[in-house]
Chains A and B, each alone.
Chain A
Amino acid sequence: MSRLSRRKLITTGLIATAGASGLAAAAKLAQRYGLIPPDGGGLYGPGETLTYAAQRLLTRHSMAREFDPNQISKPPFANEVSPLGDAFKRLQEGGFTDWRLTVDGMAARPASFSLGELKSLPWRRQITHLACEEGWSYIAEWRGVPLSHILDVVGTLPQARYVVYRSIQPGWWESIDMADAMHPQTLVAHGMNGGELPVAFGGPLRLRVPRQLGYKSVKYITRLTITDSLKRFGKGLGSASPESGYAWYAGI
């Protein structure tokens, strides 16, 4: 063959080498700056990593859109939940006075808050969009304690990277990174549309993560765990969602 095919071969080889080393360097940088999601392995790992890394670079400090009161959806839509367990029903009969939120893990002062104590903490009110991965959505007013305030109260250690949160309903747990955990709009919500948070919408206590899809806003939360690694939780994929086939990061 002519010289040209050799030149092409060398060029292609150089481009391939540059591409491969570029990818390796990018992977190393992504690892270093925490841009790889806990479900970043496997068949769809590259796509998930690109989405999470790109959104972290673009949206780390961005504020979810807030709406006017006249834009609140009437009525909002409460998605189905599996039948509420005995533990929930017992607390419900007592008017949730015994409902507690335990905060443990990488905290200088682990604590447990009753519902009343949480409601006496400084709260924030915001009208945001809740979008479900299925395609529907609603706008509602949410009232609650910023998660960042609770994390400050318990003295979160500097090596903390994620906050794991669990529902009283068995097997329902999620986690978010510190960018979302410390975000001013991430609320431990106890009120909705001017009243108490209805049970159908996650009352008495729901984590609201407005910059991610609805399934990250877990209902009936009872425990927060601050951690530097998600490996020890469940199958190590970050939350229950990847274990049932859904992405850990739900910013899209």
Chain B
Amino acid sequence: MRQAAPGRSCGAVAMVFPGGVPASLRQRLYGSAGVLTGSVGRGASGFWPDEAIFAQLGVDCSGCGVGGRAFCGRGPGLAGGSACPTFWRSLMPRVHSARPTGTISQMADSVWGSTSASALSDTTVRPRHSAVVRATHWITTFCFLALLISGVEILVSHPRFYWGEAGNVGTAPLFKLPIPASRATVPTGYGYVLPDQNGWSRYLHFQSAWVAVLTGLLYVVCALFQGHFRQNLLPARADLSWRGFSTVIARHLRLRRASDEDAWSYNVLQRLTYLLVIFVLFPLVIWTGLAMSPAIASAFPAAVAVLGGQQSARTIHFFVSVLLVLFLVVHVAMVCLTGFRERLRAMITGRPAPDLERV
């Protein structure tokens, strides 16, 4: 039997209702089949459909302030949904003080009976990140590093950038990087030439690009099926307000340490950043990369023309790569600041903490 991480649904709900969940609530939580049903977390269509359930659980929404009203509509973020911070803040003390004698899942079994146990333990003790997200995250990480190293090697053979269709050392550059080059034909001001690494770099760049693109497709298809974007990445409407942003930004500026609920859900800045990387930067870097290919340019000339030419595509490719590296730096820095072990564990095993007792 798997142990539940803190704050997962069946265990937490069992704490709140040690004597068993009222039949009406149970029906609304899990449907008649005894399995989690419906879309989770966002807005009124989830299985935490209204304030009434919050009230029944004794959760006080009034101190939350997200969206400026008592009920933000986000719910507790079970099964990977978008978590309402107040929900967990008010529930956590109860979970901790309950001093469980068995594991959470065992307690859940005692509440709902053994027939639904397997369905519940599988459905409700969901990992922080799904297996697809974890696997594609690390494959993408590996590919990105390979693309970065090989990309830098390719770049040093001609560290000058142009705008338009064509450009060479006889053309005025848009800008040039103050670094030595791996070709003697490029005037850099340095008295030496770096070794030529373009052969293996180009092989590695394109192979990694293939793996990254196929992994990205797998991620997007699975994410659409699993509702990953809707549940975990699309910000709640309430968070897209000036107040929602200012709350999160203020928390960042005060360097407040991430709270427990942050281990289970992304804040609005994270959500928008991940959406930007997944749906703007990655597609743009793939597009500009392909636009540099003479064969692709012959088959899809409009894809090059829209960018302003093949040298423009190369320049945009460089800038998007810089943005992606910037994202990587901030991403890793935030992981370190908010709890390197927890975050890393969550992205490897799916669980931020090994078990409830040790939290």
B298 & A63 in contact (Cβ 8 Å cutoff): yes
A80 & B166 in contact (Cβ 8 Å cutoff): no
A2 & B210 in contact (Cβ 8 Å cutoff): no
B166 & A73 in contact (Cβ 8 Å cutoff): yes
* B210 proximity list for chain A (CB < 8 A): 46-47, 50-51
A251 & B293 in contact (Cβ 8 Å cutoff): yes
* B297 proximity list for chain A (CB < 8 A): 64-65, 129
Stretch at the interface among B3-11, B86-94, B167-175, B273-281: B167-175
Stretch at the interface among B154-162, B325-333, B348-356: B154-162
Question: What 1/0 mask marks residues of chain B from 136 to 166 whose CB sits below 8 Å from any chain A CB?
Answer: 0000000000000000001101101000011
- Kindly provide the distance from the CB of B102 to the nearest chain A CB, expressed in whole angstroms: 17
A129 & B199 in contact (Cβ 8 Å cutoff): no
- Kindly provide the distance from the CB of A70 to the nearest chain B CB, expressed in whole angstroms: 12
CA distance A246 to B196 in the complex (A): 11
B166 & A139 in contact (Cβ 8 Å cutoff): yes
CA distance A46 to B207 in the complex (A): 7
Interface centre among B1, B169, B203, B296 (most CB of A within 10 A): B203
Q: Given the known A-B contacts A64-B294, A131-B310, are A47 and B169 also in contact in the complex, defined by CB atoms under 8 Å?
A: no
B101 at the A interface (CB under 8 A): no
Stretch at the interface among A23-31, A155-163, A205-213, A220-228: A205-213
B299 & A3 in contact (Cβ 8 Å cutoff): no
A245 & B200 in contact (Cβ 8 Å cutoff): yes
Interface residues of B in 262-297 (CB under 8 A from A): 290, 292-297
* A82 proximity list for chain B (CB < 8 A): none
B311 at the A interface (CB under 8 A): yes
B96 at the A interface (CB under 8 A): no
CA distance A244 to B198 in the complex (A): 10
A247 at the B interface (CB under 8 A): yes
B167 & A137 in contact (Cβ 8 Å cutoff): yes
Question: What 1/0 mask marks residues of chain A from 240 to 252 whose CB sits below 8 Å from any chain B CB?
Answer: 0000111100011
Among the listed B158, B296, B304, which residue makes an inter-chain contact with A136, where contact means beta carbons less than 8 Å apart?
Answer: B158
The number of chain B residues with a CB under 8 A from chain A is 45
B294 & A213 in contact (Cβ 8 Å cutoff): yes
- Kindly provide the distance from the CB of B50 to the nearest chain A CB, expressed in whole angstroms: 32
B204 at the A interface (CB under 8 A): yes
CA distance A80 to B202 in the complex (A): 21
Chain B residue with Cβ nearest A44: B203
* B208 proximity list for chain A (CB < 8 A): 47
Among the listed B168, B183, B202, which residue makes an inter-chain contact with A73, where contact means beta carbons less than 8 Å apart?
Answer: B168
* B290 proximity list for chain A (CB < 8 A): 252
Question: What 1/0 mask marks residues of chain B from 1 to 26 whose CB sits below 8 Å from any chain A CB?
Answer: 10000000000000000000000000
Interface centre among A2, A3, A46 (most CB of B within 10 A): A2
- Kindly provide the distance from the CB of B107 to the nearest chain A CB, expressed in whole angstroms: 17
Q: Given the known A-B contacts A44-B207, A135-B155, are A55 and B166 also in contact in the complex, defined by CB atoms under 8 Å?
A: no
* B170 proximity list for chain A (CB < 8 A): 73, 75-77, 138
Chain B residue with Cβ nearest A71: B165
Q: Given the known A-B contacts A77-B168, A137-B168, are A251 and B198 also in contact in the complex, defined by CB atoms under 8 Å?
A: no
A62 & B299 in contact (Cβ 8 Å cutoff): yes
Chain A residue with Cβ nearest B305: A65
B165 & A139 in contact (Cβ 8 Å cutoff): yes
- Kindly provide the distance from the CB of A225 to the nearest chain B CB, expressed in whole angstroms: 24
A87 at the B interface (CB under 8 A): no
- Kindly provide the distance from the CB of B165 to the nearest chain A CB, expressed in whole angstroms: 6
Among the listed A76, A129, A139, which residue makes an inter-chain contact with B294, where contact means beta carbons less than 8 Å apart?
Answer: A129
CA distance A65 to B297 in the complex (A): 7
A212 & B294 in contact (Cβ 8 Å cutoff): yes
- Kindly provide the distance from the CB of A157 to the nearest chain B CB, expressed in whole angstroms: 27
B185 & A65 in contact (Cβ 8 Å cutoff): no
* B295 proximity list for chain A (CB < 8 A): 55, 58-59, 62, 211-212, 251-252
Chain A residue with Cβ nearest B297: A65
A134 at the B interface (CB under 8 A): yes
A73 & B171 in contact (Cβ 8 Å cutoff): yes
Question: What 1/0 mask marks residues of chain A from 64 to 85 whose CB sits below 8 Å from any chain B CB?
Answer: 1101000101011101100000
* A73 proximity list for chain B (CB < 8 A): 166, 168, 170-171
Known: A47-B210, A76-B168. 20 other contacts (CB 8 A): A2-B1, A44-B200, A48-B207, A51-B206, A55-B295, A63-B298, A65-B298, A67-B165, A73-B166, A73-B170, A76-B170, A77-B170, A137-B165, A211-B294, A211-B295, A211-B298, A212-B294, A212-B295, A247-B203, A251-B296
In the complex, the 3 A-B pairs of residues with the closest C-beta atoms, listed nearest first: A47-B207, A245-B199, A251-B295
Q: Name 12 interchain pairs, CB-CB below 8 A, sorted by A.
A: A2-B1, A44-B207, A65-B301, A65-B304, A80-B184, A80-B185, A131-B294, A135-B155, A135-B160, A138-B170, A246-B198, A252-B296
